[in-house]
């Protein structure tokens, strides 16, 4: 909705994909804790930030092409077949990074140029 208000619908798909990845990672890292989301219009870009209380820094795993027979679809490993999220964020954002917060936690952020 904000992107439409800011007349930036052309970056909506990339922004939603980036937001989804950062929010899912924050929820996975701190499933029983609060997360915060910040969405800011800057000159020439939108800044999206997601905060969680974990001190663990995100790590992009190497992208590995999977064949259907490589997938482990058992209930305990169903969600461990990915690893493409952060490389997608890196590819779509013009800049991204992390900023530690005190006494704990971090902001994971991405800048999306328009």
Query: At 103, which CATH number?
Result: 3.30.565.10
Residue 73, in any domain of the structure: no
pLDDT of residue 8: 97
**Spatial strand order in the sheet of 36-42:** 36-42, 45-52, 106-113, 95-100
pLDDT of residue 59: 85
pLDDT of residue 80: 66
Domain count, the chain: 1
Distance CA 34, CA 54 (A): 10
Residue range 25-83, pLDDT digits in tens: 999 999 999 999 999 999 999 999 999 999 999 988 777 777 778 777 788 766 666 66
Residue 71, in any domain of the structure: no
The answer to whether the CB of 89 falls within 8 A of the CB of 110 is yes
Q: Which of 77, 85, 87, 22 is nearest to 48 (CA)?
A: 22
Domain of 102 in residue numbering reads as 2-58+81-113
How long, in residues, is the chain? 114
When pLDDT is cut at 50, 70 and 90, the band that residue 108 belongs to is very high
pLDDT of residue 78: 64
Residue 87, in any domain of the structure: yes
């Amino acid at each position: 909705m904000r992107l439409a208000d800011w007349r930036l619908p052309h970056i909506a798909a990339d922004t939603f994909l980036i937001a989804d990845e950062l929010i899912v990672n924050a929820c996975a890292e701190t499933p029983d804790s609060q997360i915060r989301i910040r969405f800011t219009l800057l000159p020439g870009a939108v800044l999206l930030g997601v905060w969680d209380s974990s001190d663990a820094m995100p790590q992009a795993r190497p992208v590995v092409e999977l064949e259907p027979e490589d997938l482990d679809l058992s209930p305990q490993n169903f969600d461990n077949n990915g690893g493409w999220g952060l490389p997608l964020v890196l590819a779509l954002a013009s800049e991204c990074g992390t900023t530690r917060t005190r006494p704990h936690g971090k902001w994971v952020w991405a800048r999306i140029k328009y």
